């Protein structure tokens, strides 16, 4: 991943580290073995917790309002 990023950015190097799994990976793992509840729980607990800023919440609220008007 780091090599591909460096190549795409013309030699600029960014060290990308994955500390936890993403929600898309969680869904893929659980889809492979939907009966393994212990694995699901371990994967779910390893997901990083999302913290929303008040600015994000305000933008999201505005978006939901806009979406309701457009519907």
Domain ranges of the chain: 20-70
Task: Quickly state the pLDDT bin for 11 (edges 50, 70, 90).
Answer: confident
- Quick one: pLDDT at residue 64? 93
Give residue-wise pLDDT tens across range 28-46.
877 787 777 777 777 777 7
Task: Quickly state the pLDDT bin for 59 (edges 50, 70, 90).
Answer: very high
Q: Is the pLDDT reported for residue 54 higher than 80?
A: yes
Residue with tokens 């917790």: 49
Higher pLDDT, 54 or 52: 54
Residue 12, classified by CB atoms within 10 Å of its CB into exposed (0-12), middle (13-18) or buried (19+), is exposed
**DSSP conformational letter for 9:** T
Cα gap 36→51, rounded to integer Å: 28
């Amino acid at each position: 991943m780091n090599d591909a990023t460096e190549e795409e950015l013309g030699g600029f190097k960014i060290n990308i580290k994955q500390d936890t799994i993403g929600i898309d990976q969680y869904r893929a793992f659980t889809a492979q073995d939907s009966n393994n509840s212990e694995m699901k729980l371990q994967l779910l607990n390893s997901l990083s917790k999302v913290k929303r800023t008040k600015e994000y919440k305000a933008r999201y609220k505005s978006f939901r309002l806009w979406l309701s008007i457009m519907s």
